[in-house]
Structure 1
């Protein structure tokens, strides 16, 4: 990585320099150049370097004689041409920022128009490369003693011990020095324009910054261009030009404007009107804030060019183009309104431009263009953030917003209809909802309204994984005898790194990377599901820990499993996914169970709901495993994990695959998937760092007695991800990198640092969802925080368990004593836990 720095880059140069990075220490100014012919050097700045790379001299547009005199040519006759890139260390940048303070006289003269502006090449590069003040003053043509003092002060402010040059090995170079060069290399057309009516362009037209309030021409002849410049708070100046114009060429040398010779314009208007001789020289200055811009003093004949000709009216009128249009026609003559208008030269305009207004105008135009093409942009740029789209509406005029919103939503709706990828459909629907909410735009016809669109988002999220595992369409058959019981038991899990990356559609888009550990509680598998085959057709579901039982004889009741508040939702969804519930239109439950008879499903968990230990997903895996064995199917670990992910989506809880994978697969492991709809994690076993000697007696698992349902958290985080919220995207990336780093340390050192990993993981969890912790949890931790090396809430957080690593076994005992003496509520308690070495186990009894 480079040290902190400021990089200056010229905007009229295009460089192609792949894999080029100056070797820079952060202590000196570096000018970046490349070797080019003498002909190129004549038109640009040139570095003259010592053998050690230090810049001996900087030449400004030197001719052959100056190049030879300075020793700037190598053996092949090439010079080191300035690329327009300069790298400043922070110290040099700070010195530059103090120029208004330390070179006050020169600075005031620049602002008053009495001194030339401080130029990057003529003044700054020359100053950084020149050690002696007197030599510098001579180079910048400081003639009077007053000028020498002023430029000497500038040199003393910016000079920082010289500069070094970096010569790029290869650098294809484009310098867009004229309008025609720009058109040839970049293209003609309108840039940042808001025309109030259609403008027919005949070719080679370049128009920039056109304001809506300025009436444009209906036709622009071939080669004609224009730019609008905001002056002050409300005024505009329209500058017209031809593609072949050169504003610096003098009248005597054939200078032209709008394709007409400058001498012809001067003959029609008069020198006194154009260059300040005579009556018009007293035109009032234009004011912007506290800056006064005065016309430059009259100079010799060689200064009479289009650059300093006072041709351009400054007006609030929407007829600004009409005032200058005469210049674009052969034989055109100025109107009385032009003669009466307050006019400025281009030299004055570039100083007087209100850059804040100009930037606002450009941002509004670019926002308008993006909104008009939002559907195409959102389809191509998958990282576009909904917040940025909403911000674009704030950049345009209020009167335009609703119309642009209708256009934007319409284009998004078209893109949404054409999209086949479920995750992308969810993202496009999310952007549509956000635009409608922010602007008051009605949803597109056929969408069903905002409520239906929000539901569609989560349907598409479910489809991103569920569509890969279809439900059975055949009558089920049993794989065990009547009266036999299939039992599945499983550990719970603690996630140690990478959580959230396993959640659809994040994992479908970029793949997931998680490190977690399977654990037993109080020496037992805390999750149990049993399935018994009985002769009477029907389904009975029992929850041991809730003390509830329900009997189903209607398939419609079993298909109602999308309410997470329904205690039987999980068994019902598992039965449907296992093929024991007929799809709608496939007959009655009694007919469907013709070859099976009845099924009794019993579930139990010794862990409180909302624990953060992956309980519901692991219980789902246990039920699915038991039902599969009941039907004569032995699911592989991979198939069971994938099927449980589908179960989560069917229940609309929207969880990922790490919970069930954490309980199905024993021990400490790295679980990872690639992007795509089929999410089957690969498993890499890792060292059991929790059981090492240095951790003995230091690990604590405490139930806070606070429950939080993960669906609410999941929806918020996934919505921010679909909206491409910058902080969420960054945190998702860091979560995955943390898991990968743990695996890299495992391979390099034989184990990863548990304390460091847990601390960083907890920080990232709180970054992606501030609700991962609560004031009540923080109050509970405050008295014991000084005893802990690390702590976090497993799962989504916001309640459930706290995993703690004490600084020592003695500290762990003190933490236990404190919380047992003063628990936060009557449900809080410690659990003894150990790393599980078996994983989910299914047997027939």
Structure 2
């Protein structure tokens, strides 16, 4: 396959947003995709493909065809081992000398392919060089790419620093995502009255297709596509936040479900390093992003709160088990951010809220994508898409299936809390690490996840229950292929008694525990599953829930 383009063409900017081909705009012909995704290139002999590429470049109106490939298609099928063999002729010394150049020039070069051609000592030297190059790199995403490659080579060399290099890569990704997202001003005054309270509540979400494609840096490189639904638990929105002004210049944070409280009187306490195991990390980071806390560590919290109009008491409540897989921490974070923003503004900007929640996830070091907050802030079932780029602004389209489809799926679904807890961050780090190291299977899976989300949206739009089941099963298979730890023997044992009654099942979110979504063959099969669970619960914490779609989403009220 040959690709021709103008030197100014950007493969990551969509045509509707100014992207070009041959230095020209073709938004009418090529639409909202990027040059990387446009199916323009013919596969064939070297001479034939070059001739076709040049003709396409010179064409007044380039045409796509299903028989042709995009650059993304070609990269997904690239035999990197043969490429390296052709380019370096198996010369390990030459490869070592040009390794950094290769990783920067060949975007999808797998670190494992380079490591396989080097002995341990050479791999260690390349890993150290990659680490040094990353330190001098101004672009955090390029730095992350070099750090992840260095991690794989250090692992090949037996260097225990491999784990630390991958952690540095993830920090670089977080810096790239959170950096462009502005924090709210820390000089705003409250507009709610001293005796008023701001009360916010939100549903959780269930992802039905495309999850992981929304996670940086996958979404930054390729754009993301996710289908998910806002969900109630026993008819209630299970995530809540309440904010109320105080006369005293202090900030008090309560967690109702944890039975914990903490009072802050100094800026340095609120700007302490993030720790996902510390329950105050989420409210502290939210207070920073909302401009309640001074941006600078040395600034006086007392003076800031006097300008605000007094102190603040912030109460959080989550009626969802930790590690549920239902996007709880991200959606609770969005709920808290909305609650705090309403202190200063009469109108909550949904796009800003989604963006700030992404920054909150990165600042908390939980490294999530955007699908959780998109799943919970707007109600209903929706497909959300983003274009490639550091700034991710999802375009959300609510799906409206034919009458009776949602009721039928609801009657066939058993939502079971497994009693198995997990932290999504642990699984997420493995998946992002695979992508950053450019494992070919990881690249293929991301493309299949996006395609699967489009197919799931089509199935919901036309009310095709069989296609819905097929896409759900395919989605779970892709998540397990991305990280085999997404499931375990205890979850398999929990599902095993019901397999004859199931057409599909999955663990929402990153997997590893939490809730299980089981789609039965028909309503009678669903009733048999619920009966078996009630007669013989898998463990003391396991319990079933009905599937209830929340059409409203985030609620904000001033009392």
**TM-score, normalization by structure 1:** 0.54
Q: 1:526 to 1:773 in 2, by over 3 A?
A: same
Please state how far the C-alpha of 1:789 moved relative to its aligned partner: 1.4
Would the aligned equivalents of 1:484 and 1:844 in 2 still touch at CA under 8 Å? Answer: yes
Cα distance in 1 for residues equivalent to 2:432 and 2:525: 38
CA distance in 1, matches of 2:557, 2:133: 50
Q: Distance in 2 between matches of 1:441 and 1:827?
A: 41
The equivalent position to 1:423 in structure 2, one of 122, 131, 141, is 141
Query: Tell me, which stretches of 5 or more residues in structure 2 are unaligned?
Result: 1-44, 53-83
Deviation (angstroms), 1:421: 2.8
TM-superposed CA distance for 1:757, in Å, is 1.2
In the alignment, does 2:48 pair up with 1:17?
yes
Q: Residues 366 and 479 (structure 1 numbering): CA distance in 2 closer, same or farther, change over 3 Å? A: farther
**How has the CA–CA distance of structure 1 residues 602 and 761 changed in structure 2, closer, same or farther, with 3 Å as cutoff?**
same
> Which of 177, 196, 210 is residue 498 of structure 1 equivalent to?
210
Query: Offset at 1:669?
Result: 0.6
* Closer, same or farther: CA 379–826 of 1 in aligned 2, 3 Å: same
Q: CA deviation at 1:367?
A: 3.4
**Cα distance between partner residues in 2 of 1:451 and 1:751:** 45
Which one has a larger percent strand, Structure 1 or Structure 2? 1
Shift in CA distance, 511/540, structure 1 to aligned 2, threshold 3 Å: same
Aligned to 2:153: 435
Change (3 A) 1:15 1:539: closer
Which of 632, 635, 639 is the matching residue for 2:345?
A: 632
- State the Cα distance separating 1:584 from its structure 2 match: 3.5
Q: Is the 8 A contact 2:152 2:162 kept in 1?
A: no
Counterpart pick for 1:677 among 390, 395, 404:
390
Aligned position for 1:799: 513
Instruction: Show CA shifts across 1:371-398 (max 9, x none).
Output: 210111111111111111210114xxxx
- Report the counterpart of residue 374 of structure 1 in structure 2: 99
- How far off is 1:804 after superposition? 1.1
CA contact (8 A) 2:186 2:292 kept: no
Cα gap change, 1:455 to 1:770, in 2 (>3 Å): closer
Alignment deviations for residues 758-784 of structure 1 (CA, whole Å, 9 cap, x no partner): 111111111111111110111111111
* Counterpart position of 1:841: 555
Question: Counterparts of 2:112 and 2:428 in 1: how far apart (Å)?
Answer: 20
1:516 equivalent in structure 2: 228
SS in 2 for 1:482: coil
Q: Which residue of 2 aligns with 1:265?
A: none
Whole-Å separation in 1 of the counterparts to 2:527 and 2:174: 45
CA shift digits 1:115-160 (9 cap, x unpaired): xxxxxxxxxxxxxxxxxxxxxxxxxxxxxxxxxxxxxxxxxxxxxx
RMSD: 2.6
Q: Distance in 2 between matches of 1:409 and 1:768?
A: 25
| Structure 2 partner of 1:819 | 533
CA 1:433 to 1:647, structure 2 compared with 1: closer, same or farther past 3 Å? Answer: same
Instruction: Looking at secondary structure, tell me which structure has more helix per residue.
Output: 2
Q: Contact between 1:561 and 1:572, CA under 8 Å: does it hold in 2?
A: no
Q: Residue 487 of structure 2 aligns with which residue?
A: 773
What is the aligned counterpart of 2:121 among 396, 402, 418? 402
Report the counterpart of residue 542 of structure 1 in structure 2.
254
CA–CA distance in 2 between the matches of 1:523 and 1:440?
Answer: 53
Superposed displacement of residue 694, structure 1: 3.8
Deviates more, 1:484-493 or 1:452-461: 452-461
Alignment partner of 1:698 is 2:425? no
**Which sits farther off after the overlay, 644-653 or 765-774?**
765-774
In structure 1, the partner of 2:272 is 560
Q: Tell me whether 363-372 or 379-388 shows the greater mean CA deviation.
A: 363-372
CA distance in 1, matches of 2:254, 2:504: 39
Name the counterpart of 2:502: 788
CA distance in 2, matches of 1:461, 1:487: 33
CA deviations on 1:599-628 (whole Å, 9 max, x unpaired) are 111111111111111111100000000000
Q: How does 1:21-60 map to 2 (within 5 A)?
A: none
Please list, as runs of the form range in 1=range in 2, the aligned pairs for 1:424-503 lying within 5 A after superposition.
424-439=142-157, 453-472=165-184, 474-503=186-215
CA distance in 2, matches of 1:454, 1:566: 23
Higher-RCO chain (CA-CA 8 Å, sequence separation at least 6): 2
Which residue of structure 2 aligns with residue 392 of structure 1?
117
Corresponding residue SS for 1:590: helix
Q: What is the CA–CA distance in structure 2 between the aligned matches of 1:590 and 1:360, rounded to whole Å?
A: 65
Asked whether the equivalents of residues 523 and 833 of structure 1 are also in contact (C-alpha less than 8 Å), the reply is: no
Q: Please tell me whether the aligned partners of residues 405 and 463 of structure 2 are also in contact (alpha carbons under 8 angstroms).
A: no
Q: Residues 190-205 of structure 1: matches in 2 within 5 Å?
A: none
Structure with max Cα Rg: 1
Cα shift at 1:661: 0.6
How far off its partner does 1:493 sit? Answer: 0.7
Q: CA deviation at 1:633?
A: 5.6
Give the total of aligned pairs.
481
Q: Secondary structure at the match of 2:208?
A: strand
Q: Give the equivalent residue in structure 2 for 1:722.
A: 436
Cα-to-partner distance string for 1:637-691 (whole Å, 9 max, x where unaligned): 1111111000000000000000011000111110110111111100112134784
Q: How many Å separate the matches in 2 of 1:664 and 1:826? A: 32
State TM-score, norm by structure 2: 0.81
Q: Distance in 1 between matches of 2:533 and 2:460?
A: 34
Which residue in 2 is equivalent to 1:759? 473
Unpaired runs of 5+ residues, structure 1, are: 1-13, 22-358, 395-400, 443-448
State the partner residue of 1:832: 546
